[in-house]
Structure formats: C-alpha cells, structure tokens
Amino acid sequence: MRTKIVAGNWKMNKTSAEAKALTSEVISLHGAEVKSPTKVILCVPFPFLQQSKEQTANTPVAVGAQNCSEHESGAYTGEVSAAMLKSLGIPYVILGHSERRQYFQESGAQLARKVDRALAHQLIPIFCCGEPLEIREQGTHEALVRKQVAEGLFHLAPEAISGIIIAYEPVWAIGTGKTATTQQAQDMHAVIRKELAGKYGNVVSEKIPILYGGSVKPDNARELFSCPDVDGGLVGGASLKARDFVDIIKGA
C-alpha cells in the first residue's frame, strides 16, 4: 500500500512574510485536523527554503524546492545546485514541471541529468510529465507521456527509480479551472505504471507513487485520490490558501 502524498507547488508567489504566515497556518491546521499518515510537502520559492525548513522542524510537514541545476557547481549565475539544497537539509525537489519544459525549453536529456544530480545528493525528485491540450486532442498524449518518463528516468537502476515520485500533470488543466475527469486521471496514471512495469517489473512499479497535478481542489481531491493508481496530488493554486490545501490533504 503506497502512502498518499500531497505536495504544494507555490510557484513564484508570496513575499517572505506571506510565506511565513502561510507555512504557519498550514502547520497549525494540519496538526489540529489531519490524522492520516499522508506525506505533506511544501515546495516553496528558493528564498524561503531556509525559513520554511526552520518552521516545519519537528512537524509532519516537509519542504521541497521547485527546481535544481543539472550542473554540480560553477559559473552558472542564478542557478541553484542539488548540493546547495542538500546543505540546507531540503529532501525534495520538483523536476520537469510543465512550466520549466515550456518556458525554459528543458529537454528530456537535461532532465535526466537533473535527476542524476538530485539523486547523487540524496534528494527525492518529484518528476513531472504531462501533455498540452493539442496533444490530448490529437490522441497522442499517452505516447508523449511515455516518452517523457522514458527520457527522464529509464536510465536509472531499479533501486534508484524506486525512490522517485512521479507527478502526472495534464498541462491543459493547470491553472485553467479545467480538471481531468477521475477516469482520465486514472487511465493516464495506469499508463505510466504500466510503462514502469514494462521496464522494471511489477514489484518496482507498484512501489512508485504517482501524483496527479491539474487544478486539484478540496471538492475533487477525495474522488481523484480514490483512484487505484493516483497516490495523491501536486497542488498549485490551491496550495496558496492554507484552508484549501489542508482540506485537500484531508481528501487523501
């Protein structure tokens, strides 16, 4: 039985004071209302990692970064390395988010290198995959997602990929108010798990959590998370409101 995971992706939002207040409110509501073993991760902007890490110490809430460089170190102004994140005690990092793929043209080969850097520093990647609307309408969405997973992860040994979290995000449902139906979400999660099983076998594929990310809200979380292959959510906009985020956690 895979443990449910709910990760909040704050993207480029909040000031330092706002981030501190939101983190405190999530911790407070979580402690008072959440009784399940669901893993909770706040993926905050780089400037807030240290303060969020300090705030969440000795709580069930963990902190993650939203990206890291494929380079170990060097003359890469503005980049943040996996070693830097490790030195702060940050256990998770989002890699391959659709916005990174779209706006920064991150390729499958580049993301494979990022995965390797993260794992080399004992970070747990939350590896994102998913299709834009035009690909969904063309009916080639399954092929694209299989390709993204293979390019980014299939160079790994079985023991390495067993420590990865995958997040499927239908790009057409991110920030649009649209949400994949429960069946659409389950179908794509099943495709990903089948692809993993084809490469690594059922024992490994059944260990890997696959999260759904696409306009997850309090009123659809329970139904989405009840699907057999949906192991929680990567939550965007709703993670910026403590009440909504904790209600989503409760839905898991």
232, 234, 238, 244: CA torsion to nearest 10: 30
Q: What is the pLDDT of residues 37-52, one digit of tens each?
A: 999 999 999 999 999 9
Residue 181, classed as helix, strand or coil, is coil
CB 84 within 8 A of CB 69: no
Q: For the chain, what is the domain count?
A: 1
Active site residues: 97, 169
Q: Is 178 left (phi over 0), alpha (psi -120 to 50) or beta?
A: beta
Q: How many residues does the chain have?
A: 252
Q: What is the pLDDT of residues 200-219, one digit of tens each?
A: 999 999 999 999 998 899 99
Q: If you search the block for the tokens 């993260």, which residue do you land on? A: 118
* Adjacent-strand bridge partners of 39: 5
CATH number at residue 101: 3.20.20.70
Strands 5-9 and 92-95: unpaired
Q: What is the mean pLDDT of residues 237-249?
A: 97
**pTM above threshold 0.85:** yes
Res. 173: pLDDT tops 90: no
Residue 139: domain span: 5-251
